[in-house]
Amino acid sequence: MTTSSDEEKESEANHDNLNINSMPSDVGNAIFFQIAWFICVASPEIIAIIAVSMLLIIHSRFMIRDNREWLLIMGFTTSGMMIDSVLQTLGVIQFSGAIAITENVSILPIWMMCLWLAFSTTLIHGLFWLHGRFKFAMLIGGFAVPVSYYGGLIMSRSSSIEPVWIMLITVGAIWALLLPSVLFIAQKYGLTRLRQIPS
């Protein structure tokens, strides 16, 4: 007869196997995103569309473990595009190729939409090392992401409000809340490999 202790050990063993078996695909996802990032900011939009389409095909075929991840990807992508479109309209960032809706309102260019979609695929995979580490995710969002934005603006020939530190602080403040929040949601609904939210 199987005891509850045996069942817990078997569950932990299966969990460990999942972590080990998932590691190569998670690292691969991070690498694929970095390639997609470079293509999106430095190439024509049609190339960005093709690159991210290929990334999504690979992601769907080899990396998706729970179809609910698509809801997370689409929800985070939509939220991100809305946030950056507001920053674009307010003049904090001026993305090259932005799409004008009215005289005073514009939305992200296609290449930036592709970039948001590509980044969203890393939440469960490439960013696995942030799962359950919400304070560390806040630091990464607050400091590393603004640097990435700045590099992307230079490579894509975009611009930002002057002095540039206003953009850096604005983006950092947004991402210091955004990144840990989306990881918390993913973990709460069981999309990460962690089973409980650390106290």
| 70-104 confidence digits (pLDDT tens) | 999 999 999 999 999 999 999 999 999 999 999 88
Mean pLDDT value of segment 147-166:
96
More confident site: 104 or 120:
120
Confidence class of residue 7 from pLDDT cuts 50, 70 and 90? very low
Coil vs helix vs strand at 156: coil
Residue 39 DSSP one-character state: H
pLDDT of 194: 60
State residue 5's pLDDT score. Answer: 53
String of DSSP letters for 106-153: EE--HHHHHHHHHHHTTTTTTTGGGTT-HHHHHHIIIIIHHHHHHHHH
Task: Band the pLDDT of 179: cuts 50, 70, 90.
Answer: very high
> What is the percent of the chain with per-residue pLDDT over 90, rounded to a whole number?
78
* In contact, 88 and 107? CB cutoff 8 Å: yes
**Residue 142 reports pLDDT greater than 60:** yes
φ, ψ dihedrals at 122, nearest 5° = -90, -10
If you average pLDDT over residues 21-32, what whole number do you get?
82
Contact yes or no for 62/25 (Cβ under 8 A): yes
What integer is the mean pLDDT of 114-121? 98
What value does the mean pLDDT take over residues 158-182? 97
Give the mean pLDDT of 108-113: 97
Residue 57's CB is within 10 A of a number of other CB atoms, namely 10
> Which amino acid, residue 114?
C
What stretches of the chain show up as alpha helix (H) in DSSP? Answer: 4-42, 45-58, 69-90, 110-120, 134-139, 145-155, 164-188
Q: Give the tokens for residue 111.
A: 């290449």
Under the banding of pLDDT at 50, 70 and 90, the label for residue 24 is confident
125 and 192 Cβ atoms separated by less than 8 Å: no
User: Where residue 65 falls among pLDDT bands split at 50, 70, 90?
Assistant: confident
